[in-house]
Chains A and B, each alone.
Chain A
């Protein structure tokens, strides 16, 4: 008789997504533990405590906590969703851009510099307006649309003086005249599950910043670019953000590895939490084979 699978779910707070995931676990009779990332610790001499899990689903709200947990779990031989290597890439916009460029996946033009002087030179070469982003960040936080040289000089000085050292990694991206929206596409492994348009009058269209969502039909073009993007970062459960570039067509803006879906699930009518749980179970079963 096959041993019952044991799953761990690493979380920081119980958002509606976590409620849905826990509910999906319980509905399927899955033996799972809720693991608060503020309460756990990893003793490198006692990996057995973690090796009891056939898989761990990482739903931490903190990129750092989640990433280090994934690295340690993978080092212990515990399968995780997503893998640490995927989180490392997706959580860092520059690393994501690097692998997209490596694999020829369309993305906005971007340049990176490590000093305000070099960054200003790159910005002037782009022309205005241009966008500055922190390499680690989410929910549309700390994005800057730079409209002229005065603003460029001010923002670069503020970032290098007031920010952590990471803010001196100046990730400069072309400003795209979007048609008032961008796209969020949900991928479950190789399956392009569903997607939505996020509309806003503001140039930042994250729903965390007030953007509204409506269902987006998955075209062959959307499917193709998402599959290529997923492959570039290593696959898994991903929220792929696409932008409709007026000249280049669909481009990948960023890829999220611990996606939220409290808008997408009701908009799409799809049980995304259930799909996530079933993907985690499949990952766990691969370990026990």
Chain B
């Protein structure tokens, strides 16, 4: 089980099964978007903000 602390509010976050590197998760405490940068060791960073050219 991988756990990591939210960089914004330090809440402990446990990765759900099937979580992959590059995925965006939401901190269950403060609601900030986080990018999973590594599964093992578990690591997250604040997700990049939406840019003007993002989309489909």
Which positions in A face B, CB cutoff 8 Å? Answer: 11, 13-15, 18-19, 22, 34, 36, 61-64, 134, 136-139, 141-142, 164, 208, 239, 256-260
Contacts and interface: CB of A to CB of B under 8 A. Distances in A.
B22 interface: yes
Interface in B40-56: 47, 50-56
A32 to B, nearest CB: 14
B22 A138 contact: no
Contact of A14 (B20, B51, B52, B55): B20
A139 B21 contact: no
A137 B23 contact: no
Interface string B14-44: 0000101111100000000001000000000
Contacts of A15: 23-24
3 closest A-B pairs by beta carbon, nearest first, are A138-B55, A256-B56, A14-B22
Contact of B51 (A22, A36, A62, A134): A62
B22 A13 contact: yes
Given A19-B23, A61-B55, 20 more contacts: A13-B22, A13-B23, A14-B20, A14-B21, A14-B23, A14-B24, A15-B23, A18-B22, A22-B20, A34-B22, A36-B22, A63-B53, A134-B52, A136-B53, A137-B55, A139-B55, A141-B52, A256-B56, A257-B56, A260-B56
B2 to A, nearest CB: 15
A61 B20 contact: no
B17 to A, nearest CB: 12
B23 to A, nearest CB: 4
Given A14-B20, A19-B20, A36-B22, A239 B56 contact: yes
Contacts of B35: 13
Contacts of A239: 56
A17 B53 CA distance: 19
A27 B19 CA distance: 18
Given A13-B35, A62-B51, A138 B20 contact: no
Nearest to A23: B18
A211 to B, nearest CB: 14
A64 B52 CA distance: 10
Contacts of B18: 19
Contacts of B53: 62-64, 136-137
A138 B21 contact: no
Nearest to B36: A14
A13 B51 CA distance: 13
B46 to A, nearest CB: 13
A34 B35 CA distance: 16
Contacts of B55: 61, 63, 137-139, 141, 208, 256, 258
